[in-house]
Structures are given as C-alpha cells and as structure tokens.
Chain A
Amino acid sequence: MATWTWFHKLASPPHFYRIAGMLMPWFAWPAAILIIAALYGGLVLAPPDYQQGEGFRMVYVHAPSAWMSMFIYATMAIASAIALIWRMKLAHAVAAAAAPVGAWFTFAALATGSLWGKPMWGTWWVWDARLTSELILLFLYLGFMALRSSIEDPQRADRASAVLAVVGVINLPIIHYSVYWWNTLHQGATITKIGKPSITMDMLWPLLAMMLGFTLYFGAVLMIRLRAEVIRRERNAAWLREELAR
C-alpha cells in the first residue's frame, strides 16, 4: 500500500535519523519565539489578577508544565502501544526518550505549584486532588524509568517498560478520578481550587501561547533525544559511521 510506505520508512533508523535532524529546528524556533512572546505577554502585558495580584503570573509556567506532564505520558503510552503492536523499535525509542522529559515537567509543575501555593494558600503543600494526582503521575514516570534502567537487555527493557506504560495509562483516569472523589469526600481545605472566573484575553493568549511553545519545545527536545537514542542503539551500524563522517 502506498499510503503505508511513509510509516515503514519512518521505522528505518537511517531515514528517521535524518528526518529528526531536519525537523528539529522547525520545532525549536517556533518554540523559542512563542515562549519569549508568551513570557512578555504574561509577565508584562497581562494585567494583575483582581484577587491574587501579581502572584497569578505563576500560571504561565505552572499550567503549561502540568499540561506537558500529561501530554508526554500520553505520548509515551501511545508510542509504547504502537511499539508493542507493530513491533516498531523506533516507537520504543520515542517512549524511552520522552520519559525523563515528562518526569521533569511533572516535577516542574509540582515545584511551581508549591511556590505558588505558599503565598496563595499559606502552605507549600495541600493534599488537594490535582496536586496528589500529579504526584502519583511523577511516581508512574519514576517507575517507568526505574524499570528501564534495571533491565540490562535493551530489547527486554523496551518491551517491559512498554507494557508498564500501557497499564499505567489505563489506570491514570482511575487514579485521577479516585483522587478527585477522595478529596471531595474528605472536604479538607476550604480553598481547593482557585476560583477561575472568565479570564480576559490579555491573560489568556500568553497562556495558550506558552502551552503551544512548551509542546513545541518538547518536540524539539524529543528529536534531539531520539537522535541520541538512534546513535546509541545503532552504534555498530555502517550507515551511522558514514552519516557521522559526513
């Protein structure tokens, strides 16, 4: 089938190595422009929040990080499923390359949330539903990476971690909603969520630009990390030696 040739081509390491190298700047430049524009828009142009004052500007780092933490886990799980179903080694490489990036974004979301929580809620940490499920997500990332690093055979590490990612993504909604119900049942803190009234355009566009910028940044980093993965996996291949010699 002609429509499938691109898919098979994508699975060949030399072809993919070149494509990833070509795509990288196309992710990196728009990401840089968007992030700089969004920073200016968010930190300078947007008016202070009527309730939180200047503190609300944390949202421009916090929310996109939280979005990335989930987006990357989904990417990882989809890549793992593809890798298991079609036995595509490159898809395994995608999952492996994405995991540490996702873990750091999750950590960034937790850290910025904590910094934001201190002035707004008065504490560094609240056992709020969103915070808790984000923390569990971090544990899932760490488990995925720990499993990979403790299996020596690379092929077995690939497939074992792929099974784990798929099991994890099935569990993720269950974890999310159970934590959500847990907190609503508990009725602990009085302010569990920042009441978000309709947000003005001045505040909204930098946020959306930042989310898109972070996503593109992930794309750029993923391409770089994937090239490194390909080099690591194909280190004995003849094509790689030619490619690097050029």
Chain B
Amino acid sequence: MQPTGLLAAGRLLYARDLKLAFRRWEQITQPVVFFLMVTTLFPLALSPETGQLRQVAAGVLWVAALLSALLALEFMFRSDYEDGTLEQLVLSGQPLWWLALIKALAHWTVSGLPLVLAAPIVALSLAIPTEALGTVVVSLFLGTAILSFLGAVGAGLTLGIRRGSVLLSLLVLPLAMPALIFGARAVDMAVMGDVSRGPLLLLGAMCILSVTLGPFATSAALKVSME
C-alpha cells in the first residue's frame, strides 16, 4: 500500500470536515446567528443614537465575535471523538500536529469565516464608517483564526469532560485576551480615522504564532485525551 503524503492526507481531511459541516447547516449558521443577535442586543441596551453606538462599536463587535467563535469551538473534535474517528486519525501514522492544524483550519473555515463575512453588515448597523470596514474584516479574519488555533488546544484538553463548554471558555478566554485588545484597538482606531496598521501587524504576528505553535500543543492535548 502506498503511504499517503502529507499534503494528500491534509486535503482529504479538510474536504471531509467541510463536507460533514455542510451536511449539518445549523453548525455553520448558529455562530453567525448568535453573532447577529448579540450585536442587536447592544443598541437595545445602550442607545440607538449613532454617535454613542460608534464609540462602543469596536468593542461590541469584537466581544460578540469572540463569544460566537467560542460557541463553536466545543464542536471541533466532539463528534470525531465520540464516533472514534479521532482515534483512527491518531493511529493513521500521519503526524498528529499536521492533522490538528488541518482540523483547526477546517473548523475556522466553517465557524470563523462566516463571522468575518457577516462582520461588515454588523459593522454598518453599529454605525462604523465604511472606510473602516476593511480593518474590521482583516482584524476579525486574523482574530477568528487565532481563536480557532489557540482554542483547538482547549478543545483537545476538554474532550469527553462533562460540562466541558464552561471549562473551555475558562481555559481559552484568558489566552485570547491579547487578540481582543489589539483587534478592538485596530477597529477603534479605524473608526476614529487613524491608521490601524500597528495593532493589525501585532495581530498578524499573534496569528502566525498560534498557527505555528498551536498545532503542536493541540496534538499533545489530543494524545492526553485519547489515552
């Protein structure tokens, strides 16, 4: 039997995860709906006045996106763990960090990317000026990726634990705080009409760090959980 190459294995796993996700639409749509709903709550609770909304828009947008992405995190390995697929992946002979990277990427595609796509609409509804939309999209693109790759570690550690979702947020949120700081800052600067390059670059650096180091920690976490 011919051993499967790294890229081929990655492509297969990615395609499989996407196919599974698209067969269960609610898994993709739920975080987006949650995102839209939470951002609707803020104008109701604070004030519909544009100037006031614009002041808090960056923070609201980012906190809501972070919580929505967190909501989906729990399901990254859940079904694979329950039906034994994860065990087969561990035994497949492919490096586990690579599979963890692909799985986090697939998870980001179905849970993070929809948030990024929905962000401009939400941003406009929160009175963020159109000039700042580019920053909104780029910052959330990087931020949701950070959360997927960093969160994969937490998702791996909390596999098979009762009431794991509360625990997962306790583990992941402190680690995600730097991303929130720079992401919300970038959007805020763009809303004020400043150049948001600095925080975006730092966000990018964090994204690279979590994409490169995260999978190794995730594979260690999965191995612990599979024993």
Name A residues whose Cβ lies closer than 8 Å to a Cβ of B.
Answer: 84, 136, 139-140, 142-143, 146-147, 150-151, 155-156, 159-160, 163-164, 166-168, 170-171, 174-175, 178-179, 181-182, 185
Contacts and interface: CB of A to CB of B under 8 A. Distances in A.
Interface string B177-214: 11001100100000000000000001000100100010
Nearest to A140: B174
A161 B80 CA distance: 22
Contacts of B96: none
Q: Is the interface of A mostly helix, strand, loop or mixed?
A: helix
Contact of B167 (A139, A147, A170): A147
B44 interface: no
B225 A167 contact: no
| Residue of B162, B163, B171 with most chain A CB atoms under a 10 A cut-off | B171
Contacts of A164: 153, 157, 171
A150 B181 contact: no
Interface of B: 153, 157-158, 161-164, 167, 170-171, 173-175, 177-178, 181-182, 185, 202, 206, 209, 213, 217, 220-221, 224-225, 227
Please give me the 5 A-B residue pairs with the lowest Cβ-Cβ distance, nearest first.
A178-B178, A139-B174, A159-B224, A182-B181, A143-B171
Q: Is the interface of B mostly helix, strand, loop or mixed?
A: helix
Contact of B206 (A146, A156, A174): A174
19 contacts: A139-B170, A139-B174, A143-B171, A147-B158, A147-B167, A147-B171, A150-B158, A150-B161, A150-B162, A150-B167, A160-B221, A160-B225, A164-B153, A168-B175, A174-B178, A175-B174, A178-B177, A178-B182, A185-B185
Contacts of A171: 174-175, 178
Contacts, number: 75
A147 B177 contact: no
Contacts of B206: 174
